[in-house]
Structure 1
Amino acid sequence: MDVFQYEGFVQLVVFFVLLVIKIFAFANALLYSAEAYLAADKLNKPTWCILLGIAVVLQLLPLPLMIVNLAMTIASIVYLVDVRPALAGLRRR
């Protein structure tokens, strides 16, 4: 294998890892009620669902929207690192 085949393989792995992260974040955002988002003092449920849904769609489209896709990746990570634990903390109480 030459360098270009390794590069293509790494890009494919990164693509699927980001796709899984975005799909998981989107599916998880759908599980919580709108009241939970308000109680956790986060953006409302429709906003997060729209952002994360756009993130999944942009990951699947072969468009050169790299900066927008990067922003949606960051939004997905913010949801998983900040919003999801806050919402899960409300359930435990």
Structure 2
Amino acid sequence: MATFDGLVNLVVVYATLALAVWAFVDALIRPAAGFVAAGKLTKPAWMAITGIATLVLLWQGPLSFLGLPAVIAAVVYLVDVRPAVRGLSRGNTSW
């Protein structure tokens, strides 16, 4: 029988892994010019950061020594970089 602590740990592991995968896929689909125009690191740099974060969370989990920086890296991308790049990629396209 599963304990409450075990279920909470499982939810945290899968939620942080999903967060990192979301950050990686979002970095993958954004245009490279948007990163430079927003004044952020380049697209390959953010792809590497979020990709490594995903691998770390997959292998070690969020509660390990490298897990917390991996979660922070994914959150920084989603909270800071994604809105800046997303706002620039829309442009002024009116129908």
TM-score by length of 1: 0.88
Alignment of 1:1-93 (within 5 A): 5-62=3-60, 66-93=64-91
Structure 1 SS opposite 2:39: coil
- Can you give the 5+ residue segments of structure 1 that lack an aligned partner in the other structure? none
Structure 2 CA distance, aligned partners of 1:50 and 1:83?
Answer: 14
How far 1:64 moved relative to its partner? 9.3
What is the identity percentage for the equivalent residue pairs of Structure 1 and Structure 2? Answer: 43
CA RMSD of superposed structures (Å): 2.0
Comparing 14-23 and 61-70, the one that deviates more: 61-70
Structure 2 CA distance, aligned partners of 1:48 and 1:64?
Answer: 19
CA contact (8 A) 2:24 2:51 kept: yes
Q: When you count helix as a share of all residues, which structure comes out higher?
A: 1
- Can you give the 5+ residue segments of structure 2 that lack an aligned partner in the other structure? none
Structure 1 counterpart of 2:34, which letter?
A
How far 1:30 moved relative to its partner? 0.4
Structure 2 CA distance, aligned partners of 1:64 and 1:15?
Answer: 6
Structure 1 CA distance, aligned partners of 2:13 and 2:71?
Answer: 11
Structure 1 CA distance, aligned partners of 2:7 and 2:61?
Answer: 19
CA contact (8 A) 2:40 2:81 kept: yes
Structure 1 counterpart of 2:47, which letter?
C
Structure 2 counterpart of 1:85, which letter?
P
Aligned pair in 2 of structure 1 residues 91, 63: CA closer, same or farther (>3 Å)? closer
